[in-house]
Copies of this chain bind each other. A is one copy, B any other.
C-alpha cells in the first residue's frame, strides 16, 4: 500500500486505473459530440481489462496451473479495487480459466487426466464437424495461412510460435463454420489447453510431426475432399490426445 509500482509478479508496471475514482480530478465537462450515431466501439470496463490482463498472463505461462490469485495482490499490482478484481474473477471462472475454492481463494485451473480427454472430446466434435462442412475460399485460405505460419516458425526454431501457429490452424478450421458461438467456444477450449502446455512442453519432435499432418489436412480441405480431411483431422486429434495424456496426467 506504500508504493503502488512495486509489482512482484510480472505486470507491465503501469497501472490499469481509470480516472473515475472516488475523489480526484476537478470536473471539466467539455465538448459535446453532436448527434452522431451511437458510439460503436465502447472502451471496456476496468474489470474487463483486468480479466484481459490476467488472460494474457495465463496464456503466456506467467501464471501456472494451481497458482493462487490473491485479490489484494492483484488489486495492488494493477492499481484497481478488490471489488473490480472480483468481477474479473467472475468472468474468468465462467471461462473455466480459474477455479474458485469458496473461502480459500481462486486458483489457476489445472486440468487433470479427465479434463484432457474432455477437452479433446469437445475438439473432436467441433473441429471435425467444421471441416466436414467446408468453408468459403477466404476461410480455407486462412487455414492455409496457418500452415505456412507453422512452417515459418519451424524454420527459425521458434517453439512458442510453432505452438501458436498450431492453435491458429485449429482455430481457422472451426472458423470455417462462420459461427460466432463456435469460435468463442473454440477460443475458450484453446485457452484451457494453453494452460497446461506451459506445465511441461512436449518435445520438439512431436511438434514437427504435426506440421506434416496439418499440411495434409489442409491439402484435403483445399481439394474439397472433406470426408478425408475429417478423418485425417480425427486421427490427428486422437494421436495428440494420447501424446498429451502420457506427458501430463497419469
Which residues of A approach B to under 8 Å, CB–CB? 42-45, 47, 83, 86-88, 90-91, 93-95, 100-103, 118-119, 121-122, 124-126, 128-130, 177, 179-182, 185, 189
Chain B hits for A122, CB < 8 A: 179, 181-182, 185
A125 contacts B130, C-beta separation under 8 Å: yes
Given A90-B94, A94-B91, A102-B43, A125 and B129 contact (CB-CB distance below 8 Å): yes
Distance, CA A101 to CA B124, complexed state (A): 35
Interface of A, secondary structure class, is helix
How many identical subunits does the complex contain?
2
Distance, CA A103 to CA B122, complexed state (A): 36
Nearest neighbor of A93 in chain B, beta-carbon distance: B91
Distance, CA A182 to CA B182, complexed state (A): 12
Contacts A87-B90, A91-B93, A126-B126 aside, 12 further interface pairs with beta carbons under 8 A come to A86-B87, A87-B87, A91-B94, A118-B179, A121-B182, A122-B182, A122-B185, A125-B130, A125-B177, A128-B129, A129-B129, A185-B185
A121 contacts B83, C-beta separation under 8 Å: no
